């Protein structure tokens, strides 16, 4: 493995560093606040990992270019159907637009040919990470509220001191 390949995996090195930093903070620290911060760092590294895997070099956002949408609307498919759906519903579209079924199928084939050359990045990891961020914020808020309550009851957020107080009669 040469140096260019190692540098090319820069995102993964950052993910590994953040993941191990967060993991160390959770394992080595006895302070509950530092453990929550470690969990959040670990969680951020997972977000970066999934988003990095979803990005394709040279890919663009999965948005249909405006020129294809305009061609689609001019061909009588303004309701947002894809080229595949337009072919399956050719009779309905032909009836609505006054064109022949062959013309509608030809327009669908023309549109699908315009889309073939575009490389799209996968949107699924980003969408899943948006959901994970919301869940992470809710989990962090709950953990912080529990830490506040523990501090009120025990007077400390040090895990060893709390366990020691629980062992006393």
* All structural domains of the chain: 3-55+120-167 (1.10.287.3510)
pLDDT at 113 over 80: no
Q: What is the DSSP letter of 82?
A: -
92-117 mean pLDDT? 64
Distance CA 119, CA 107 (A): 22
Q: What is the DSSP letter of 56?
A: -
Instruction: Specify the pTM.
Output: 0.64
Contact indicator for 62, 123 with CB cutoff of 8 Å: yes
Distance CA 26, CA 34 (A): 7
pLDDT at 75 over 70: no
56-79 mean pLDDT? 64
pLDDT at 137 over 60: yes
80-85 mean pLDDT? 50
Give me the pLDDT at residue 4, please: 74
CA distances, 59 to each of 15, 17, 22, 120, 156 (Å): 22, 27, 31, 5, 51
Average pLDDT, the chain: 80
More confident residue, 90 or 53: 53
Contact indicator for 22, 39 with CB cutoff of 8 Å: yes
pLDDT at 48 over 50: yes
pLDDT at 23 over 80: yes
Q: Taking the CB of residue 83, how many other CB atoms lie within 10 A of it?
A: 20
More confident residue, 83 or 142: 142
136-155 mean pLDDT? 96
Give me the pLDDT at residue 60, please: 76
Distance CA 4, CA 90 (A): 52
pLDDT at 86 over 50: no
């Amino acid at each position: 493995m040469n140096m260019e390949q190692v540098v090319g995996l820069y995102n993964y090195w950052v993910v590994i560093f953040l993941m191990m930093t967060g993991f160390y903070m959770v394992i080595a620290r006895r302070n509950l606040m530092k453990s929550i911060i470690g969990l959040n760092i670990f969680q951020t590294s997972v977000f970066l990992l999934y988003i990095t895997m979803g990005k394709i070099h040279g890919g663009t956002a999965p948005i249909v270019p405006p020129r294809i949408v305009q061609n689609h609307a001019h061909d009588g498919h303004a309701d947002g159907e894809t080229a595949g759906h337009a072919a399956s519903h050719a009779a309905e579209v032909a009836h609505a637009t006054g064109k022949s079924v062959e013309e509608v199928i030809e327009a669908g084939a023309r549109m699908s040919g315009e889309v073939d050359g575009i490389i799209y990045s996968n949107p699924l990891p980003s969408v899943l990470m948006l959901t994970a961020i919301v869940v992470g914020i809710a989990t962090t808020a709950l953990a912080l509220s529990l830490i506040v309550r523990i501090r009120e009851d025990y007077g400390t957020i040090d895990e060893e001191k709390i366990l020691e107080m629980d062992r006393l009669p």
